[in-house]
Chain A
Amino acid sequence: MGEDVIIVKDLVKVYGELRAVDGISFEVEKGEVFAFLGPNGAGKTTTVEMIETIRTPTSGEIDILGMDVRKDRTEILKRIGVLPQEFSSFDRLTVRETIVYYGRLFCADCNVDHLLKLVDLEKHKDMLYMNLSGGLKQRVGIAVALVNDPEIVFLDEPTTGLDPRARHDVWEVIKGLKKQGKTIFLTTHYMEEAEVLADYIGIISKGKIIAYGTTQELIDKHFQHVHVTIKGAGTNVLAVAKAMEFKAKAENGNIVVEAVGNDQIIDFLGQLKARNVKFEGMDIRKPNLEELFLMLTGEELVTEDEVKE
């Protein structure tokens, strides 16, 4: 077991009547990618900004790299790197100038060329920030978060608003950081992002952590069943499932059946075969985080509007 580099205990942030963060506790181990997953307004950014020392907690403790956020702000800032939510930079500075500028703020001897290579921006180094695409801008933000060679990197919604291609590019950069052994604190409302990148996941809803563990642990803990999806089948499949007392529903023209354990799956498929039911295809999978979140909160993680982006 590695050491805990972030320890949050009973953290509370109150704005007027609103308890934005309502008594949360968790730890992040050195070298792991921790994903803080939750819908917009759940308290993710408020929490992460308190850890980054730029918001003051109402109560509770935050210990980061063995230091207290309230007392050791200057020292903490030297050892962490931050990509804020909706990062943006000076429009009329080039990529290279932007990185050099932030490097000078840390008085760090940052190796600009190395950083450019790390985030794959060598070709764009002389472009003005304002002329970059969204994905490239985020990569500038990540490079800037690394100028002081930080031990912990905070990435607050690094791929929000990016197209799938740009999102995957950013993921590759984050995987590269993980390989370097950096501890990464990621906030996101994309379940897939957490699944792809995170070792540990904390799910936050309405200011409280409602689930905490590895992806596998969370799924195994909350779901015993698997989803057996029968594609291109008629309602007779539904009838078979109901007859066997399985939970089942029609979804986008497919039938999704919940089965617990291999025996149930084999029995169900056997019944289909015995009755000579025709279908086009099938897959069997564990429920994902999206479904976990829906089950735990009754809320969608990503709303319709965001899908359209």
Chain B
Amino acid sequence: MNLNRIFANVVVDLKHFYREKSTVFFVLLFPILLILLFGFIFQGQGDLSYDLTVQNLDDGPFGEALLTNISYSGIFTLDEVDPDITVDVQYIEDNSINTVLIIPVGFSDGILSLLDNSTPPAPVPLTIYYDPSNSAAQSKVQILGSLIGYMNKQLANTTDYIYLDQPISTASEDLEYIDFFVPGIIAMSVMSSSLFGTVGINTELRQKGILRKLATTPLTRPEWLLSNIMYQFIMALMSTSVILLVGFLVFGLVPHIGPFMFLFIVLNVFSFAGIGMLITRFVKEAESAQAAANAVMFPMMFLSGTFFPLEMMPDFLKIIAQFLPLYYVNEGLRASMITMNNSTILLSAGVILAFAIIVFILGVLLTTWKDD
């Protein structure tokens, strides 16, 4: 392994990339187009209009008054739940709700005792359930907090009468579409740029005879494989940044950007650049190699839960999905960026790591410079 040779290759690839404007367009603008298109189509449910589900368990006047105040603020449209229903995490998931405000039993009594000054002041709590993966829910909790602060000021200047109890996370897997979609689109873009980028470079260099020339230099095949993967990783970082930026600017999505996100992107690159190498090892003609790459990519795109949650699909497709490497990248990226579900992160990372290692080793073993 010689780093100088590897970097020389990466530099050449990058120069070639930015001097070819059409590839710049495809790598960077295509994902943006997809995210805007799908984002807007499926964002239509109007979650950003701040519907608020409330349940009033209080039988005194103050609970009712609080709700009236909240609805007068004009920020929320209230959707009241019957007090007989048990509102818990299960109920919230079943009804696809992202935020619930519960006025507890005895709320009015609590306020009355505060007004009487008969007991030492102890503010009365309100219960909130919210879905942390939902950006709208987070905004709602914040707005409710400031509304209640304002009401406290109206009631008495010195002490808080009401406060929002620590919001209870529903830790729901019932994600907003855009939360679901952005990690998926990152996984898919990185897959397609790695796969097609690798197939493209390989077939182009073979057709031009550059591979034959490289075979007569000290550059080894593993060095060349690695330099390609490094180049594809830089491409992947660029498209990921663009997608995250659009996700934030247009849809207000703020995902967790941590080491695991990068790990899944690296493994995604390794897996699909490796598959690309193997394809061009066995399919030498440029158009057939492209067709083979398409044959790999399309099932991955549609069957591994990129555009639509797998829950929407029939059981046999769910089983098929578990054999597709992109499924684990999708799951892993979603878990590491949105839901922070550690067991999913570790499971997905394990599977895709094993896959990436196998593909890369096969790539090194099966591909040689020699033509025969």
Contacts and interface: CB of A to CB of B under 8 A. Distances in A.
Interface of A: 15, 49, 52-56, 74, 77-78, 80, 82, 84-93, 97, 101-102, 104-107, 128, 144
Contact of A92 (B16, B217, B369): B16
A303 to B, nearest CB: 22
A55 B372 contact: yes
B153 interface: no
A101 B209 CA distance: 16
19 contacts: A55-B371, A56-B370, A77-B216, A78-B218, A82-B216, A84-B209, A84-B213, A85-B209, A88-B209, A89-B210, A92-B15, A92-B19, A92-B20, A93-B12, A104-B7, A105-B8, A107-B4, A128-B19, A144-B213
A104 B5 contact: yes
Contacts of B284: none
A15 B372 CA distance: 10
Interface of A is mostly: loop
Interface range on chain B (Cβ under 8 Å from partner): 20 to 34
Q: List the 5 shortest-distance A-B pairs measured between CB atoms, nearest first.
A: A104-B8, A82-B216, A88-B208, A92-B19, A105-B217
A101 B2 contact: no
Interface string B1-44: 01011011001100110011000000000000000000000000
Given A90-B12, A104-B7, 7 more contacts: A54-B212, A54-B215, A88-B208, A88-B210, A89-B213, A105-B217, A107-B4
A289 to B, nearest CB: 28
B126 interface: no
A77 B19 CA distance: 31
B262 to A, nearest CB: 28
B11 to A, nearest CB: 8
Nearest to A104: B8
A115 B49 CA distance: 69
B292 interface: no
Given A89-B210, A92-B15, A104 B4 contact: yes
B15 A87 contact: no
Contacts of B16: 90-93
B1 to A, nearest CB: 13
B370 A77 contact: no
Contacts of A53: 216
Interface centre among B19, B210, B214, B218, by most chain A C-beta atoms within 10 angstroms, is B218
B217 A84 contact: no
Nearest to B16: A92
Contacts of B81: none
B219 interface: yes
B209 A86 contact: yes
A219 to B, nearest CB: 34
